[in-house]
DNA sequence: TTGCAATAGTTTCGAGTCGCTACTATTCTA
DNA sequence: TAGAATAGTAGCGACTCGAAACTATTGCAA
């Protein structure tokens, strides 16, 4: 049973990634782009992309350069730490990242409760797997243990910054489960 | 919501495939090996592996040669059609194919009803996606429209052959949904 | 303060993958 | 029986990925 589920996951992923080529992006580039599109401003450095995608800084460096060449992301060097770089997704990058794929259509056609169950199940499995391997989880800001609700927006106790409402729904590399 | 589910699937697959390297196999080789390990005797040709894994015959040819070099599969040329080749998984190949991965452990730890829901959901999504793309589904023999129950084993109306009990639980490349 | 370690990112290189095209061999078909 | 179709292989070229070495910057500790 678990092996069948694993086979299903791997096959689905492969089929889904096969579509990336249609956009002139390889799967690694598409993963980086969609990640950057959903990550908050503290989580858009090459090393964060590397940690998220389970790759290395060197490889990600090439991937991001390709995305920049194609005008999908823009590089911003930090003022405070001149070693670090943050990437912004451009308008055309955002359009590509949020383009609907065939898998999305199929998922949308699913009964809502099935889709919800699927998402919950997969999310649980992913977090368990990451915990077992000792990696970073990369969760949604507002569900993090360091998050405080503050009016419409929020406050991060770890980074000691105020958060815009929209930011609290983005991915953060510092995420830790509330439990 | 669908995009999040897709991201979960792709991330899980990548994490899972990262483990393949530990066995000295790349993901493509592992996919081919586990497929061959679960496929019935009519479904173990290079072209079947190619269709299953969404690759090409040429690429799969290389993959299978690598598996044979490592002693995980053995080649058998057909008597009836001298163009075709069928691959058998060796004992060590079977051991590798059925080795438990971390993802399997995590899945096993899941409440049974959650696991069942997950499998059902993923299976539905995969079949829908394959249908939308016009590919072959590759399902379990005994649930196929051409399958007839016959005593302990079965009978395939398409290939006109009797089936051993164990065979009816294997993957067939001729599979078609009963509905 | 100064020097060493740690961190962020890049570059280069080599092994390996993948798909495409062209090819052989065999079987089907009209 | 000739030509089309099918099964598989070979070789090439583009590309990917990760490892190791490198630069630049920052943190830390004596």
Which segments of chain A have a pLDDT < 70? none
**pLDDT reading at B144 higher than 90:** yes
B66 CB contact with strand C at below 7 Å: yes
Beta strands in A66-176 (DSSP E): 73-77, 85-89, 147-150, 153-156, 161-163
| B37-81 confidence digits (pLDDT tens) | 999 999 999 999 999 999 999 999 999 999 999 999 999 999 899
Of the candidates A18, A103, A3, A4, which has an alpha carbon nearest to the alpha carbon of residue B55? Answer: A18
| Partners of A161 in beta bridges | A156
pLDDT, tens digit, for every residue of B17-33?
A: 999 998 899 999 999 99
pLDDT of residue A2: 86
Instruction: List the single best residue of B31, B96, B129 to mutate versus A (max A Cβ within 10 A).
Output: B129
Interchain contact, B1 vs A53, CB within 8 Å: no
User: Which amino acid residue lies closest to nucleotide D27, measuring CA to C1'?
Assistant: A81
With CA atoms as reference, the chain B residue closest to A13 would be: B10
Report the pLDDT value the prediction gives residue B135, as an integer from 0 to 100: 86
For A65-94, what is each residue's pLDDT tens digit? 999 999 999 999 999 999 999 999 999 999
| Sequence-separated contacts (24+) of B157-166 with Cβ below 8 Å | B159/B42
For the CA of B27 and the C1' of C12, the distance in angstroms is 26
Which residues of chain B lie closer than 8 angstroms to A104, CB-CB? 2-3, 6
Name which of A12, A17, A104 is nearest B122 (Cβ-Cβ): A12
Q: Do A9 and B6 touch (CB under 8 A)?
A: no
Sorted by sequence, the CB contacts under 8 Å of residue B107 that are 6+ apart come out as A1, A2, A5, A6, A125, B115, B118
């Amino acid at each position: 049973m678990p092996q069948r589920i694993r086979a299903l996951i791997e096959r689905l992923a492969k089929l889904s990634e096969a579509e990336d080529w249609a956009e002139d992006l390889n799967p690694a580039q598409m993963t980086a782009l969609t990640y950057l599109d959903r990550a908050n401003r503290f989580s858009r450095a090459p090393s964060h992309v590397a940690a998220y995608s389970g790759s290395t800084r060197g490889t990600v460096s090439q991937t991001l350069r390709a995305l920049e060449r194609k005008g999908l992301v823009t590089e911003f060097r930090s003022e405070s730490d001149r070693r670090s770089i943050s990437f912004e997704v451009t308008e055309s990058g955002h359009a590509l990242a949020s383009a609907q794929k065939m898998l999305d259509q199929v998922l949308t056609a699913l009964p809502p409760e099935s889709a919800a169950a699927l998402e919950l199940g997969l999310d649980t499995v992913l977090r368990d797997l990451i915990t077992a391997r000792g990696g970073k989880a990369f969760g949604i800001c507002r569900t993090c243990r360091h998050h405080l609700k503050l009016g419409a927006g929020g406050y991060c106790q770890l980074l000691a910054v105020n958060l815009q409402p929209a930011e609290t729904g983005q991915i953060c590399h510092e995420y830790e489960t509330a439990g």
